[in-house]
Amino acid sequence: MLITRASEYAILSLILLCKAKSPMDSDTLSRELSISKSFLAKILQSLAKAEILNSYKGVNGGFALKKDPKDIDMLWVTSAVEGKVPAVFECAPSLEDCPSDKASTCSIWPFLHKLQGKIDLFLANLTLADLLND
């Protein structure tokens, strides 16, 4: 969980960038999507750092997909934008870090772990191409 608007905006941007074959600048994207320009700029920068987008400075610069749409999955996108894999619960990824002394006998950790696995699998199997095709 913990999926915020940043992930939404990232996906929307990727859809537009996928259709536009030349780089689009953040200003154009924010106008097209009616999204806060500065917030979107940070999101695009995150996507660039994650190697999902290429960024180009200067005249006619902007952002463009760095990968094929079929190679861009939503887990990657949300992780890049949220700064981490959207975690169901802080303790879910690793039992070792559990602050509780009940770590080894935690009654809900197995279920959280399962839920997290299902969410991750869903996001990982959903690519940008899946959203564009069919």
Partner DNA sequence: CGAATCTAAAGCCATAATAGCCTCCTGATG
Partner DNA sequence: CATCAGGAGGCTATTATGGCTTTAGATTCG
List residues binding a second copy (CB under 8 A).
1-5, 7-8, 11-12, 15-16, 19, 33-34, 88-89, 100, 107-108, 111-112, 114-115, 118, 122, 126, 130-132, 134
Residue with tokens 């180009």: 56
Spell out the residues 6+ positions from residue 46 whose beta carbon is closer than 8 angstroms to its own.
Answer: 6, 10, 80, 81, 83
95 binds, among DNA, a second copy, none (CB under 5 to 8 A by kind): none
Residue from 37, 102, 114, 118 in contact with DNA (CB under 7 A):
37
Residues 38-77 as x/- pattern, contact with DNA by CB under 7 A: xx-xx-xx--xx-----xxxxxxxxx--------------
Cα gap 49→52, rounded to integer Å: 8
SS3 assignment, position 34: coil
